[in-house]
Structure 1
C-alpha cells in the first residue's frame, strides 16, 4: 500500500527494558540482508553478562567516533524555518519511538530500531569543522539549527562535550544558533547560552510530549523526565535566554490530552513561545511505531493509527513538501484550535514573530594552521 514501510520479516525479540523500539529489524527498502538472532550467540552473551555483572539480556550502548569532512548540512525545504543545521551525533540514546530521524541509520546498514538508540556515532571534530566552515570567504551568516536530527544533549554529550565546543565557536564568531532538545542537560551550558543571549544570538526549545513520567518512559525512555524539561525551560527563561516549548509530537489518543497543561506549566515558568507538531511516521518509523503500539497500547492501536491516517490523506505518512508538516482534516483542525485557544488564554506567542536572531555581528574566525598568521 502507498505510504506503508516494511521491515524484513524476523521473529520479534524480547522487549528491552529502557529502550524505545521493540525490534532491531532491518529495513527492506535498501535490500539489506535479513538478520536472525542466533541462539548460540545469545547463550554465550548471557554467560559473559553473568561474569561481568550485567543484567540479564542487557543491550549496551556503543559509540563510534566519526571523522567527518564537513559539519554543516544545507537544505532548501519550504517546510522548515532554517536552511542549515549541525548534528554532532548520529543515532540517539533517548530512544524516542516516534523519532523521524530513525531511518537515517539504515544508510549505515544498521537498524532504525534498536540500533538507532544503541549504536551511536560521535563527531569529535565538529567544532574544528565549524570553525573552518565559518572562516571560508564564501560563507554567509544565517542561524544554524542544532537538534534537528538527533539530540545535541543526549547522554553521551556529558562525556564528549561536542555541543559545548560548538557553542564556544558560535560565541567567538557571533554566529546565531537555535537549539532543540529533550534534555535538561542543556543547563550545563547555561553560561555560554546566557552570553549568546545577551548578544541576541541564541534561542532554545525543549520538546515536551506529556506530563506522565510513566508514559514518557515508554515513549522516550532515556530522555529527561517531563518535569525536568519544564524546570529547565524555567531556568532558561529566568536567565534571559529565549525559551520555547514545543509539544512535539502530538500523538492522538496517547499524548494529546496533555497539550493545555504543558502550555500552562511552561507559561507559568516564564516561557512566551510555543508550537506543536503532529506525529510523523516516515519509512521504518511507521512499522516500528505500530510494534510499539501493539506492545504497550493494543487496546487503542487501531484508533491511534486511524486518526494518524485521517490527517495524512489515508496514509501513515505524507512526505510531500508543503503538506508533510501541515496535517489536514477534522482531527488536525481540532488540535490546532485547542492549541491556539490555550496560547491566547496564556498570552503565548504574542511576540513570537518579532524574535529574530542577529546576524549582523558575525565575525569570520581565523582558520587553524599557519595561514591564520598572515
Structure 2
C-alpha cells in the first residue's frame, strides 16, 4: 500500500492565564492601615477561551473585602500584570467600575510594563467596606500558545504594597487556525506538514511574526530554515527544511526536530472490520469481497495516512474500492474488492 500525508487532523494547544492578586497582609494582631483590604471574593475573568493571535476583550471583576476607609483613601488600586505572551500595545481599559462608595475610578494600560491598573478614591468613612471592582481590557492579543501565569495586586490603602493575594480566573488561548500546536522542546515536526503552531516553543517568535531557524544537527546542521508565520508554519523544502534539529538562535538548543513521515506497518484483514488476521503480501479467495486496512505510522500526532490501491497493471483503482481512503488515528478503511480482477493488487 502507498501512503502520503494529509493535514486533516486539527489539534490545539492551549495557553492558560491565571490572574492573581499578589501581596501580603500586615502582621498578626496589627490593625490594617486606613484603606487596607483583608480579602478578595467573587473573582471572575471572561471569556474563558480566546483565539491565539486575535484581538479580544477580557473582562475582570472581583470584590475587595474589609476595606478600611474610615480615614479616607486616595489612590487605592488593583493592578493586573500579564506576561509577554499578552500584547497590550493597542489595549484600552474601559467600562471601569468601582463601588459602591468609591469615586474618581479610572483605568490605565502600560503596554511596556504589561499592566492594567484600576485606581479609585474612597472617603466614605466606612471601617469595613466591600468594594466591587470591574474593568474590560479591550484589544488585547494573546500572541503565544502555552501555559503562562499572570499576576495582579490589590493596594487598597495606596501605600505602594499589595495586601491580598488570590486567583481571579483563567483564560484558555486556542490556536484554532492552525493544524496543530506543539509545546515542549524539542518538538517533533514532519517534513511536508503545514499550518503548525510554533508559538508555544521557547525562543520562537509570537503570533504575527516570522521566524528564522538554525540547523544544528542531522542533515539540517549548518542550514537555515524560515517560516513566514509562527502561528501556522509550513515545514517544507521550499522553506529550507530538511531532516534534523533546529534551534531558534544560532547558539541555542534544539527546539524542533524534523523527521520524515513514515508508515511503519500495514495490516490487511478480510472482512469489514480489523482483526488479527493479516493477508498483506498473501492471497485471498475471490469470495472475499471486503478488506479492511489499518496502518501504524510515526506521525499519528500530526497527520492522517492515505490509502492508494493499484491493480495488476499498475492502474490506480482507489476510487473504485473506497470513497474515503484516509485513515485517521486509531481508525481503518474498508475496501470493496468484489469487482477487482484476479491478480496482484498493491
In which range does the TM-score fall when normalised by the shorter chain?
Answer: under 0.3
Q: TM (normalized to structure 1)?
A: 0.19
* TM-score w.r.t. length of structure 2: 0.21
Of Structure 1 and Structure 2, the greater strand share is in 2
Q: Which of the two has higher C-alpha Rg?
A: 2
Structure with greater proportional helix content: 1
